[in-house]
Amino acid sequence: MSLRNKSRKMPQVNIDSARLQDVQERVAEGARQAAQRVGPTTRQAQKMAAKQMKNARHWSAPRIDQAGHYIEEEVGPRVGALLHRTAGRVEPGSPKRRRGFAAALLVVGGAVGAVGAIATRRSASRPSEEVSSPEHLSSTSENSDADRARSNH
């Protein structure tokens, strides 16, 4: 707003109370006449709207019920199964135990130890004739003397 508009004063209207009352009565009478003319139409519109709402409810109730059954019997189980599978994928796995590997290693080690012990006992119980026989010693010394003689020449 500009300053010119603010500085302007609104004109004062002096209406006497008799004239004011007369205008109010005319407005009230016009409102009553309009209500009398519109009243039946309003009631008729209200009745029609109530009838249409009832028809809409009769039409939609079975369809809503059918949708509820579909969701309970078809969609619900599928969503539930999907959630169970997802939970199984999300859950961290239990730590893997290596008991089987450790047990197999222990059994193999025990078997190797037993075979070694048996072989040691067998070799200890045999007479060591081959190792300390005089023929073996003499052939060994003869070979070594021959080797020495060859290396000197």
How does pLDDT run across 103-116, given as a tens digit for each residue? 888 888 888 888 88
* Cβ pair 130, 136 in contact under 8 A: yes
Distance CA 123, CA 125 (A): 6
pTM, to two decimals: 0.34
**Alpha helices (runs of H) in the chain, residue ranges in sequence order:** 3-7, 17-70, 76-90, 99-125, 129-132, 134-152
The pLDDT of residue 87 is 86
Residue matched to tokens 């009352």? 21
* CA pair distance 137, 104, nearest whole angstrom: 46
Residue 4: band (very low, low, confident or very high) from pLDDT cuts 50, 70, 90: low
